[in-house]
């Protein structure tokens, strides 16, 4: 299943039977997904250190998080196409090595804004390696085993996110060689090099049989439309909401509509758009966009704001804050193991169940924040976090598969998976930016615990609203597969 479109399935000539080393190489290629998600969330634990060491302001801090996610999501489309053009094995190895190099530059950053730039570069390199992973899974695994491999992919998404919080705290506390927060980036260098070497040795070597055409107008248009929202939302409040921020946000919708019109025209001419607009009109796919983007938006923003509360509000060390997320991670890992079995019994209603549990966990968190106020402790937050972890484990690993099995035509499955994955990453970027802005706006210039709790309560209420929309979308999915 390629990150882009159904044509990618034909991009690699099928080997005579299943690839014999497929299960051995699967952990190697899943390393790309783990690293991409780990590096998105690990920065949350280092937020306080970045503010102190690099004097990172609110806008820079949000762009360190959101800029990576935005560049990652924007590049997925083009990264997948390059895999079709030049070979998925080759692009995976190049992307992995480039990601390791970009991580090294992040660790060497000398200022907050240089780190922002290197994080954007890191996001671009992540987009070069991750699409190849899905295409290779589609190529190496026969249909009977593909669902299991995709479940492992989905679980890796969530485990990478939670590990970023937990292991990030451990790395910061160890302070290897006195590197401080830079350790979270330097650790990618040996892992990336080893993964690239193993991939170069073990991945299948198949010749191209199809050379798709690039669609730069579509790729740039969709990315520009979202950037016109992301940048002003990030910089608007610290800058006092100047006129250009409102003009930028107002221009986003026309740019998106013009891009979609171009994509529709390209389809009619027999071209190869990055997004088939007919998909958007499908009720199931539209629901999938809301679920994929919305769920990751709430999760990314929730994790960022909660980290700020724990470290800046409660004064916890990065290690203590990271370990506070451990119960959430354990809950996620446990529930993700049972998600497939639950889905076999209740079908796509597993999405409703998982999202409902996350909604309940967020609601409990809001209640705890309001009840305890400035007397809150980390322990009082854990019950709500555990429920969020359980819901995430049931929803995130099965999100794409549930939508694809619920009525998406087989010949559009590749493109649909790509767009849904891209929606997840844009959700990451937008969620961290929007909920972060809400958090800092509610906080104002205060530094006392009560103000941090109030800011977290407002941000959690906003996250609760996002999850309510996702829950409504999950109800629209057919209970069982229709294909």
Question: Maximum CA pair distance of the chain?
Answer: 65
Three-class DSSP category at 483: coil
Are 37 and 165 in contact by the 8 Å Cβ rule? The answer is: no
Question: Six-digit token pair at 319?
Answer: 């290690």
Are 455 and 442 in contact by the 8 Å Cβ rule? The answer is: yes
pLDDT of residue 185: 92
The candidate with the shortest Cα–Cα distance to 358, out of 299, 308, 408, is 299
DSSP 57: -
Are 324 and 310 in contact by the 8 Å Cβ rule? The answer is: yes
Q: How far apart are CA 411 and CA 9, in angstroms?
A: 10
Question: Six-digit token pair at 364?
Answer: 């409990």
Average pLDDT over residues 125-142: 83
What pLDDT band is residue 364 in, cutting at 50, 70 and 90? very high
What pLDDT band is residue 376 in, cutting at 50, 70 and 90? very high
Question: Six-digit token pair at 190?
Answer: 């040996």
State the DSSP string of 314-342: S---HHHHHHHTHHHHHHHHHHHHHHHHH
Average pLDDT over residues 369-379: 92
What pLDDT band is residue 207 in, cutting at 50, 70 and 90? very low
Are 459 and 300 in contact by the 8 Å Cβ rule? The answer is: no
Q: How far apart are CA 279 and CA 273, in angstroms?
A: 12
Question: Six-digit token pair at 222?
Answer: 């969709």
Q: How far apart are CA 325 and CA 118, in angstroms?
A: 27
What do you get for the CA distance between the two ends of the chain, in Å?
A: 16
How many other C-beta atoms lie within 10 A of the C-beta of residue 7? 18
Q: How far apart are CA 462 and CA 297, in angstroms?
A: 11
Q: How far apart are CA 256 and CA 253, in angstroms?
A: 5
Residue labelled with tokens 């968190």? 365
pTM score over 0.85: no
Check pLDDT > 70 for residue 483: no
Q: What is the pLDDT of residues 330-357, one digit of tens each?
A: 888 788 778 777 877 887 788 899 999 9
Q: How far apart are CA 186 and CA 31, in angstroms?
A: 16
Question: Six-digit token pair at 259?
Answer: 């891009």
Average pLDDT over residues 292-305: 86
Question: Six-digit token pair at 324?
Answer: 């506070």
Q: What is the pLDDT of residues 180-199, one digit of tens each?
A: 889 999 999 999 999 999 99
Check pLDDT > 50 for residue 108: yes
Check pLDDT > 80 for residue 479: no
Q: How far apart are CA 476 and CA 474, in angstroms?
A: 5
What pLDDT band is residue 3 in, cutting at 50, 70 and 90? very low
Output the CA torsion sign for 302, 306, 308, 313: positive
Percent residues over pLDDT 90 in the chain: 27
pLDDT of residue 356: 94
Check pLDDT > 80 for residue 15: no
Beta bridge partners of 208: 12
What pLDDT band is residue 407 in, cutting at 50, 70 and 90? low
Opening angle at CA 45, ends 355 and 457, nearest 5: 50
Q: How far apart are CA 329 and CA 382, in angstroms?
A: 11
pLDDT of residue 105: 96
Q: How far apart are CA 29 and CA 337, in angstroms?
A: 20
> What average pLDDT does the chain have?
82
Residue labelled with tokens 């076999």? 344
Average pLDDT over residues 398-420: 63
Q: What is the pLDDT of residues 251-294, one digit of tens each?
A: 999 998 999 899 888 888 877 777 777 777 777 778 888 888 88
The candidate with the shortest Cα–Cα distance to 361, out of 318, 302, 415, 310, is 302
Three-class DSSP category at 12: strand
């Amino acid at each position: 299943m390629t990150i882009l479109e159904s044509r990618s399935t034909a991009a690699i000539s099928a080997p005579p039977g299943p690839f014999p080393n497929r299960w051995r190489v699967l952990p190697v290629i899943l390393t790309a997904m783990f690293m991409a998600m780990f590096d998105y969330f690990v920065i949350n634990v280092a937020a306080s250190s970045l503010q102190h060491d690099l004097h990172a302001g609110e806008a820079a801090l949000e762009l360190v998080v959101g800029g990576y996610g935005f560049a990652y999501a924007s590049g997925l489309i083009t990264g997948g196409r390059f895999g079709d053009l030049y070979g998925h094995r080759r692009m995976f190895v190049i992307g992995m090595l480039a990601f390791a190099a970009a991580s090294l530059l992040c660790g060497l950053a000398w200022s907050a804004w240089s780190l922002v730039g290197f994080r954007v570069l890191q996001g671009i390199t992540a987009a070069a390696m991750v699409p190849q992973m899905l295409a290779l899974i589609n190529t190496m695994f026969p249909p009977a085993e593909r669902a299991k491999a995709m479940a492992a992919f989905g679980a890796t998404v969530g485990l990478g996110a939670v590990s970023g919080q937990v292991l990030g705290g451990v790395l910061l506390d160890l302070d290897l060689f006195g590197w401080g927060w830079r350790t979270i980036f330097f650790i990618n260098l040996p892992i990336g090099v080893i993964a690239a070497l193993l991939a170069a040795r073990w991945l299948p070597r198949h010749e191209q049989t199809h050379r798709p055409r690039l669609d730069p107008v579509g790729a740039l248009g969709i990315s520009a439309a979202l950037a016109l929202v992301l940048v002003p939302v990030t910089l608007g409040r610290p800058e006092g909401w100047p006129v250009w921020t409102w003009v930028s946000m107002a221009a986003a919708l026309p740019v998106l509509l013009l891009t979609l019109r171009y994509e529709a025209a390209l389809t009619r001419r027999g071209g190869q758009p990055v997004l088939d607009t007919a998909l958007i009109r499908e009720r199931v796919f539209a629901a999938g966009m809301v679920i994929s983007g919305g769920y990751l938006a709430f999760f990314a923003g929730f994790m960022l704001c909660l980290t700020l509360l724990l470290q800046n509000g409660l004064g916890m060390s990065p290690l203590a804050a990271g370990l506070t997320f451990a119960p959430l991670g354990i809950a996620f890992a446990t529930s993700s193991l049972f998600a497939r079995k639950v889905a076999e019994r209740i079908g796509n209603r597993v999405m409703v169940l998982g999202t409902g549990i996350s909604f309940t966990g967020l609601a409990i968190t809001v209640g705890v924040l309001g009840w305890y106020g400035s007397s809150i402790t980390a322990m009082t937050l854990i019950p709500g976090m555990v429920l969020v972890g359980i819901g995430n484990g049931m929803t995130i690993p099965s999100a794409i598969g549930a939508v694809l099995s619920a009525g998406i035509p087989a010949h559009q499955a590749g493109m649909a998976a790509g767009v849904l994955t891209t929606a997840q990453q844009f959700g990451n970027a937008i969620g961290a930016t929007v909920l972060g802005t809400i958090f800092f706006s509610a906080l104002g210039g205060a530094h006392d615990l009560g103000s941090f709790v109030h800011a977290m309560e407002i941000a959690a209420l906003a996250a609760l609203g996002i999850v309510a929309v996702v829950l409504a979308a999950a109800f629209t999915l057919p209970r069982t597969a229709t294909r």
